[in-house]
Structure 1
């Protein structure tokens, strides 16, 4: 296999490798580092002995991601305020034509699910991602992780139970999510508290992630009254030279707010019964770097 062919093969599988690494780590920069390390392993491997490049590369990437997770201290111990994953552009396009497969991929990369995955062990997270998001058979996962198949099935069951117990249930209609985002944005801009409250569920939750680097709530806000008044306060204060753009992030529509042409914040909502049940606002500038060139 020539160097050019080796590069072509790796680039063919790069989207899958990045998808695995991001779901494992929740941060695009970390995921890209892991994929780059996987490339170094691939370029130095005896590729003639590799019968299935995709399986080999996913195995290497998964193990590197597990090692990275084990090296990093718990985010909850050092992070200022609530933690959310770094926004990830997920326009699957024609690469995923099947509606059911698209829904599975979108759900596995949603902010709500990735937050739950943070509480799994590295091995549980790896098994969950490989099985639930990418559909690998238990036997293949066992080979990748050098574990017995029975142990992998046990890890998968434990991880799935944990996620199912903690994963919120939301309506996934992207048109409805975008419509509600536009409505709350318009109501906030007009100072219309009643109109704003009409878009929010009574027990709505707002999670703001600034990492202590920008203005955002340092605690989760709960109830439509608290969330509504917070959003009105933000609207009154305003964002200098603000522009608003919709794009697909983490499997659903999201609002990207730019200030002076630079990413200022990302807003995404989850909807239940026609009202916003959860709202996520990401303002940590380190997590918005990858969106600088988007749109």
Structure 2
């Protein structure tokens, strides 16, 4: 790898480090593990660039870096799940006997009813309001992005989201 390639991969890594950490953290669920994954991914990117030195550079180094992070994070998560599955408590109780970390059937039924109510509330909304709310809450879009997508002002986009949220809260029996 040439000095230029090394500094390019470092600049790419530094520029996207936060996004890479968040991506890895979403998969492994633990920030310190995510940091290890991202660091290891950077080292693998450097090795890959050394192997491709004759070809000049990798075609899509950022996409390659995200793919490395994803694969490493999934490996870490699988390893953690295996380790947790083999956990044996001091009193001889195996991990299989530990209560599941999920809601009881009554809570699940209540949650399903709430979800049906929410879906009905979303279906009642005008198309622009529903799109604005879905983009904001489910797509993590900024209000400015929603406004641009809908072809409305930022204030109107904000009002659409707020009104849609208030409507859904009232249909779910919660105070707006």
TM-score normalised by length of structure 1: 0.28
The higher-RCO structure (CA 8 Å, 6+ apart) is 1
Give the strand-richer structure, 1 or 2: 1
Give the helix-richer structure, 1 or 2: 2
TM-score normalised by length of structure 2: 0.44
